[in-house]
Chains A and B, each alone.
Chain A
Amino acid sequence: MVTIIRKELADYFTSIRCFILFLLVFLVGAAGLYAAWQGIRSNPGDSSFVFLRLFTSEGTAIPALISLLALIVPIIGITLGFDAINSERTGGTLSRLLAQPIYRDSVINGKFLAGMVTLAIMVASVVGIVGGYGLRMIGVPPTAEEIIRLFLYVVFTIIYGAFWMAIAVLFSVVFRRVATSLMSSVAVWLFFGFFYTLMIVPAVAKSVDLMILLRRFSPNTLFEEATTVLLLPQWRGSGLFAVGEGDISFMLPNALSLGQSILVVWPQLVSLIALSIICFAISYILFMRQEVRST
């Protein structure tokens, strides 16, 4: 399996696709940094968690880094996975590969792990770069708590990306054509990213409680809530503790402690991991039982 992972990684890092993704990621990093610069300058007040504000401040026109990342991480996941299996099948390499003395599952595991490594490198590098430049910009080093929060954020983001990769890999197992699997993955992403939370849930849900509950079926919401809690400890926005108007707890003066934050995001973390595992397990099982031949 090590050989497969190594080959997949070599493939990724020499592919134009991956180059474009890295470009995109760095653009996002630069944009996020610019947004933070604008945001912090225009509202220097709050002194707690200054370092985290690098990642959460909005600029005048540019969304905050976490919003940008929430947008592109699914794209990265999909891009890394959508043709994992079916391109090998249509290319005629799958039957050759499976005729080698390797376990069949090491093919799909190897591809998935190589994708995870690539994803992790991208996420970690953008957070690292923004952190590094941000440090020079604001001159305030991060506290230990902020570092832990950022680290958890990176872990969450990787898992979120892995979920989308698992969806894409699943479609690459189910559909023989690369174009079909790509379109299906994008369709799921559009569904959860836009239609579900913005149109279907508001239309269906009669009460706020029901709305919150329904929204949680979307992985996007899970991720959004978790990152908000992790990086914006003071915030009690509409995500997690969404409350009716006039609720006094709307904006608590004191932030959630690290322990409390972790407790709050724990269910989100478990759900996201579970969703990823379910998707991966389905593709795994399908792949193991599928006909090898390409016709």
Chain B
Amino acid sequence: MDKNIVVETKDLTKKYNGTTVVDQLNLHIYENEIFGILGPNGAGKTTTILMLLGLTEPTAGTATVAGHNPTREPLQVKRIVGYMPEKVGFYDSLTPRENLKFIAELNNIPYHTIDAKIDEILKAVGLSKQADQRVGTFSRGMKQRLGIADALIKEPKVVILDEPTAGLDPEGINQILDLIASLPKRGTTVALSSHQLYQVQRVCHSIAIFSRGKVVVAGSLDDLGRKALAEGHYRIEVEVAQASPGLADILAKVKGVSKVETKDNLLIVSADSDLRAELARTVVHANVPLVQMKIQEFSLDAIYMKYFQEKG
């Protein structure tokens, strides 16, 4: 993945009547990555997104989207950024096709290509059958799908989705996540906010966790998982047939192992690299029957909880 920064904020701050909602935010989103914005309700995710689009003026600091300042050059930014708001709405008396056509025309998409594009995008979000039904009759999830189609119709360089999977059925979630995951290949950088940690973990390359307007953690998911769960170490679970007292000490002596914890017949080994092969050999050598061994998969859930437990 190239390392061109597409979205960058420098000390971005937003205050509403003296209350700081976004506090000196520094974010980097790289080209063709999927970036997840997490954080509890009221953390300032939506406010940040609005500032990135130039829909709200920052109180201090700057944002840069593909080299443009959204406050000073809103049109340049809006030309290349697709956006799906938190509470997405459409003209109820129009059909999805008409709604999308209006947006396409506002974006000066060549007239003869509009219809084909609409068909394609409606198919991608699973609304082909409802293309000519009034939006007023749509369920929440159907509107949500249309919202994603709407953000993508202009084939944006950057697409910002505020809670894209809210209200979708499980199948819809899969479909939309697959669609989102396919965007970087087409040259679209994605930023999405969500409360669904599992979904974020599934599609995002990098995340930032917000809390009270500040970023508490940011980085690529792999790094974060390692850092957060084992202070920068790998954790390997070794399960043996029965508890054997001396094993922990033996394992602790393996080169690269920093700590071994024992829980009955489960040993949790912290190491600075993936030492599974080495550990297996040692266990077998010590004549202890090895049941299974796995590298502990971190979950975003655990990272998230860890940061919010620390704060209390």
**A residues with CB within 8 A of B:** 3-4, 7, 11, 14-15, 91-93, 95-104, 291-295
Known pairs A92-B88, A96-B89; list 6 more (Cβ under 8 Å).
Answer: A14-B93, A15-B93, A92-B87, A93-B89, A101-B75, A291-B56
Q: How many residues of B contact A (CB 8 A)?
A: 30
Within 8 Å by CB of B103, from A15, A91, A100, lies A100
CB <8 Å contact, A100 and B78: yes
Tell me whether A7 and B102 are in contact in the complex, defined as CB-CB below 8 angstroms, given that A95-B55, A101-B107 are known contacts: yes
Asked whether any CB of chain A lies closer than 8 Å to the CB of B90, the reply is yes
B79 touches A101 (CB 8 A): yes
B288, chain A: closest CB distance, angstroms: 60
- Could you tell me the distance in whole angstroms from the C-beta of B101 to the nearest C-beta in chain A? 9
A–B pairs, 20, beta carbons within 8 Å: A3-B106, A7-B102, A15-B93, A91-B90, A91-B91, A92-B85, A95-B83, A95-B85, A96-B103, A97-B106, A98-B55, A99-B82, A101-B108, A104-B74, A292-B55, A292-B56, A293-B50, A293-B55, A293-B56, A294-B87
Interface string of B58-76 (1 = CB under 8 A from A): 0000000000000000110
Q: Is the CB of A100 within 8 A of B107?
A: yes
> Cβ of B108: which chain A residues have Cβ within 8 Å of it?
101
Q: Does B8 contact A (CB under 8 A)?
A: no
A11 near B93 (CB under 8 angstroms)?
A: yes
Residues of B within 8 A of A294 (CB): 87
Docked complex Cα distance between A16 and B246 (Å): 84
Contacts of A93 in B (CB 8 A): 89-91
Top 8 nearest A-B pairs (CB, nearest first) are: A92-B89, A99-B83, A101-B78, A91-B89, A101-B79, A100-B106, A95-B85, A292-B55
For the complex, is B301 an interface residue (Cβ under 8 Å from A)? no
Which chain B residues border A291 with CB–CB below 8 Å?
56
**In the complex, which of the residues B81, B82, B91, B147 contacts A11, with contact meaning CB atoms closer than 8 Å?**
B91
Q: Which residue of A lies closest to B108 (CB)?
A: A101
Q: If A101-B75, A102-B106 touch, does A96 touch B85 (CB 8 Å cutoff)?
A: yes
Check if A101 sits within 8 Å of B56, measured CB to CB. no
Q: How far is the CA of A168 from the CA of B69 in the complex (A)?
A: 35
